[in-house]
Structure 1
Amino acid sequence: MTLQRCTENRQAFNALVKLEKTLTVSDAIISSPLIATQGLKKDVVGEIIRILEFFLEVTGKDLEDYQKQVLAGDLYEKFKTDALEDIVLMFKMARQGDFGKVYKCDTFEIMNWSNQYLDIKSATRERLISKRKKIIEPEPSQGKYFTDLPIMLQEKFENIVKPKKNFIPRKASEMMTTEKTIRDLEKPKKKQEVLTTEKSESLFNYDAFLKNLQTNVSKMYDDALHKAFENTTKSTHPEVWKIFNNEIEFRKKTKK
Structure 2
Amino acid sequence: MSNSEIQKTESQQVSTTTHWTQCLINDTSDAMMEIVSLETSLSVKKCLESPTIYEVTKNLPAKNIIKAVREIILNSARTFKFSENMDLSQATILASDLISYFKNESLEDIVQMFKMARQGELGSGKGRLDHDVVFNVFVPAYLDKKAEIREKQIINENKRLNEPAEEMSDYARQKFEELSQILSARRIDKPSTPVINHHQMWLKSLKNNVKTLSLQELYEEKSKAMKSDESVFNEAIKIYQNEIDSREQK
TM-score by length of 2: 0.60
Q: CA 1:212/1:78 → structure 2, altered by over 3 Å: closer, same or farther?
A: closer
Match of 1:109 among 129, 133, 136: 133
Q: CA 1:219/1:243 → structure 2, altered by over 3 Å: closer, same or farther?
A: closer
Which runs of 5 or more residues in structure 2 are unaligned? 1-16, 207-224, 226-232, 243-250
Offset, 1:100: 2.0
**DSSP 3-state at the match of 2:125:** coil
2-structure distance, mates of 1:94, 1:33: 22
Corresponding position of 1:49:
70
Offset, 1:136: 3.8
Higher relative contact order (CA 8 A, sep 6+): 2
For 1:98-147, what per-residue CA distance to the aligned partner results, in whole angstroms no more than 9, with x for missing partners?
1223312210101121121111112212222223333444647999xxxx
Q: CA 1:229/1:95 → structure 2, altered by over 3 Å: closer, same or farther?
A: farther
CA RMSD of aligned residues (A): 3.8
1:250 and 2:236 correspond: yes
In the alignment, is the contact (CA less than 8 A) between 1:36 and 1:81 conserved in 2? yes
Corresponding position of 1:89:
112
In the alignment, is the contact (CA less than 8 A) between 1:45 and 1:76 conserved in 2? yes
Corresponding position of 1:35:
53
In the alignment, is the contact (CA less than 8 A) between 2:32 and 2:75 conserved in 1? yes
For 1:210-254, what per-residue CA distance to the aligned partner results, in whole angstroms no more than 9, with x for missing partners?
x9972544997xxx9868668563426955775589572333444
Match of 2:99 among 53, 76, 84: 76
2-structure distance, mates of 1:254, 1:140: 16
Aligned residues: 185
In the alignment, is the contact (CA less than 8 A) between 2:21 and 2:65 conserved in 1? no
Name the structure where helix makes up a greater proportion of residues.
2
**DSSP 3-state at the match of 1:102:** coil
What amino acid is the match of 1:129? I
Q: CA 1:225/1:140 → structure 2, altered by over 3 Å: closer, same or farther?
A: farther
Which runs of 5 or more residues in structure 1 are unaligned? 144-210
For 1:59-111, what per-residue CA distance to the aligned partner results, in whole angstroms no more than 9, with x for missing partners?
45332322112111110111111111000110011111112233122101011
| Greater Rg by CA | 1
What amino acid is the match of 1:44? I
2-structure distance, mates of 1:212, 1:57: 64
1-structure distance, mates of 2:236, 2:131: 59
Percent identity of paired positions between Structure 1 and Structure 2: 25
TM-score by length of 1: 0.59
